[in-house]
Structure 1
């Protein structure tokens, strides 16, 4: 699993498969919560490919965020 964190966007993406090829994600389930949004990405067969968390600093533990790969730092 690969976890990336963009602090500028306050977003985390957790990739649950080795690679998500372009076009593989065909269905998204959106869950609105107090403080943010969680988006589940699925392929045609219904396999969960990844999870996006918007409002990550409100929805996820700080230690978890600290361990994520930062993609907002040049």
Structure 2
């Protein structure tokens, strides 16, 4: 199984799941917002210019993702000491 890079901002309660090579920096060309009523929150799917899914943004992440995943995610809300 491939390793996924996941970032989490606890203050914003937002996570991002990267579905690309960690060394790649693809550009988001199109974002598809999932219906918040149907999924019970806000989830956005990001696609590149070729139509490939490159990432998933999850708002209200603590209610949508397993806690172990958030615990293992790279924290982006922690300021450098």
TM-score band, normalised by shorter chain = 0.7 to 0.9
User: Between Structure 1 and Structure 2, which shows a larger proportion of helix residues?
Assistant: 2
Residue 9 of structure 1: how far off its partner (Å): 0.6
Gap runs ≥5 in structure 1 = none
| Aligned match of 1:37 | 42
User: Between Structure 1 and Structure 2, which shows a larger proportion of strand residues?
Assistant: 1
- Taking only aligned residues, the RMSD between alpha carbons, in angstroms, comes to 1.1
Which of 1 and 2 has greater Rg?
2
If the length of structure 2 is used for normalisation, what is the TM-score?
A: 0.80
| Aligned match of 1:10 | 13
**Superimposed CA distance per residue, residues 11-70 of structure 1 (whole angstroms, 9 cap, x where no aligned partner):** 00011112234xx21111111122x21100001211111110000001111111111011
Count of residues paired in the alignment: 71
